Amino acid sequence: MGKDKNPRRVADNEAMAKLRMLRTSPQKLNLVAQLIRGKKVDKALVDLTFSKKRIAEDVKKCLQSAIANAENNHGLDVDELVVAEAYVGKNLIMKRGRPRARGRFGRINKPFSELTIKVRQVEEQA
């Protein structure tokens, strides 16, 4: 009896990791995600390690999680992995504010975002 197994959301040669509730705007996070799209994972890790952006450390954790998922859950070879997709989405926005002149209220938005990284195993060209 029981339920059928859920189908995989990614192909057989792919693995994915998702990071939610990152405390930065999606626009700033997308700058770091652009940095690693299409690169081999070892090169992408080096780029994130030496990036000056604050959020690069969290993106690096997500990439390492995707690599670990590929190796442990799907049996892919780490040396042949490439960052296939890295995309950013909006999450909630905390609304804060501070008093301004003449009894007004200055609104301050504190956005959150989420990051999805897919790595794909690509065979080496001879």
Strands of the chain (E only): list them.
Answer: 14-22, 81-99, 105-121
Examine residue 9 and state whether it is found in any structural domain, yes or no: no
CB-CB contact of 85 with 30 (8 Å): no
Q: Is residue 41 part of a domain?
A: yes
Number of domains in the chain: 1
Residue 6 forms part of a structural domain? no
> What would the pLDDT profile of 6-18 be if each residue is shown by its tens digit?
888 889 999 999 9
* pLDDT tier at 99, thresholds 50, 70, 90: very high
> Quick one: what percent of the chain has pLDDT higher than 90?
88
How much is the pLDDT for 44?
Answer: 97
Which candidate, 125, 116, 90, 114, places its Cα nearest to that of 14?
Answer: 116
Whether 2 is covered by a domain: the verdict is no
Does the residue 67 lie in any domain? yes
Residue 1 lies in a domain: no
DSSP string, 73-94: TT---GGGEEEEEEEEEEEEEE
Band (pLDDT 50/70/90 cuts) for residue 19 is very high
Which CATH number goes with the domain that contains 72? 3.90.470.10
pLDDT exceeds cutoff 70 at 90: yes
Mean pLDDT of 47-70: 97
